[in-house]
Structure 1
Amino acid sequence: MCALCPELDAATRLVRAFAEIVTTRSGHIKDWITAVRAEDLPGLHTFATGLEKDWDVVLQILTTRWNCGPVEGRVSHIKMIKRQMFGRARLPMLRKRVLLTALAS
């Protein structure tokens, strides 16, 4: 497929390169953005523009080992419990269910 469609080949190459940058935290994001600008891929251009708008955040993500993954996971878990209760119970019941599930995991 990639051999038949140069745009698909370029998109595949750039997405894989971005995944490598994020996974290894190599920080060569400026070079990647330059490579994206050289291709005719509007979707990736928009993504690159968004990265440039939030440049300080992007640098922090790529240069520090800290992340908020565990906290976001817990927040998502609490929201799921709240949805399961369908608004039938108030805060004391929600608190009890959150604490009980936290102990079980």
Structure 2
Amino acid sequence: MFQGQWQNRKTKLDDFKPYLHERWAEGCTNAWTLWEEIKTHGYSGGYGAVRAYLQPYRTIPTAPAARPPSTRTVAGWILTHPDALLESERRKLKSVLAHCPELDALASHVRTFGRMITELQGDRLPQWIRGVRADDLPSLHTFANGLERDLAAVTAGLTLPWSSGVVEGHVNRIKMMSSSRGHRSPRPSQNRT
């Protein structure tokens, strides 16, 4: 019989509800603290009204926050050719890079270096090194320093179509055969006197 009679009646709390919503969204969920805050803004009502108003927000289940991708996962995305990534991985990587300018710069340098390798653009290496030095990425600076130590050989390796992979394969095969046969270096003889 009395249902809805008081539903549209104005309360002392109405003017402060937007503030309460804002603070709740910021993570302040303590009714007493919020009551104290709105009192300083002119609220003259009691604590019970604030607590009762906030009660339904406590029972609304919140979706668990998605776990951020692991460092290994993000590194894998950066090191994979963009065309080989799934659409969902591309979106996640884009989101990660948007939140970290340093990681975005790193990803850009890695992708450029990958193009130099796959498209034999070794002549662009000095320009790439200058670009790396312009950013505050100490681990990439260390890598660039190593490349500069033997710049001519690295440039040739990134430019010329020849590879020493076959020779390296034979060397590894010989090493494996030696270790599987139990070859060990002879021990020096011990003189007993």
Calculate the TM-score normalised by the size of structure 2. Answer: 0.43
Runs of 4+ in structure 1 off by over 3 angstroms are none
* Structure 2 partner of 1:100: none
Q: In structure 2, what is the Cα distance between the partners aligned to 1:69 and 1:25? A: 16
Question: Is the radius of gyration larger for structure 1 or structure 2?
Answer: 2
* Residue 132 of structure 2 is aligned to residue 36 of structure 1: yes
Work out whether 1:73 is the aligned partner of 2:169.
yes
Q: CA deviation at 1:17?
A: 0.8
1-structure distance, mates of 2:155, 2:104: 27
Instruction: Name the structure 2 match of 1:12.
Output: 107
Deviation of 1:85 (Å): 1.9
Q: Partner amino acid for 1:2? A: L
Deviations 1:34-60 (A, max 9, x none): 110111110110111111110111122
Which residue in 2 is equivalent to 1:82? 178
Q: Does 1:46 align with 2:142?
A: yes
- Between 1 and 2, higher relative CO (CA 8 Å, sep ≥ 6) is seen in 1
Letter in 2 for 1:5: C
Runs of 5+ unmatched residues, structure 1: 89-105
Two-structure CA RMSD over aligned residues (Å):
1.5
CA distance in 2, matches of 1:13, 1:45: 14
1:97 aligned partner: none
Q: Tell me the TM-score normalized by structure 1.
A: 0.75
Q: Which residue of 1 aligns with 2:121?
A: 26
Cα deviation, residue 29, structure 1: 0.9
Report the residue type matching 2:131 in the other structure: A
Q: Aligned residues, how many?
A: 88
Name 1:92's counterpart in structure 2. none
1:65 counterpart SS class: coil
Higher share in helix: 1
Residue ranges of structure 2 left out of the alignment (5+ in a row): 1-95, 185-193
The sequence identity of aligned pairs, in percent, is 48
Task: Quote how far apart the aligned CAs of 1:25 are.
Answer: 0.7
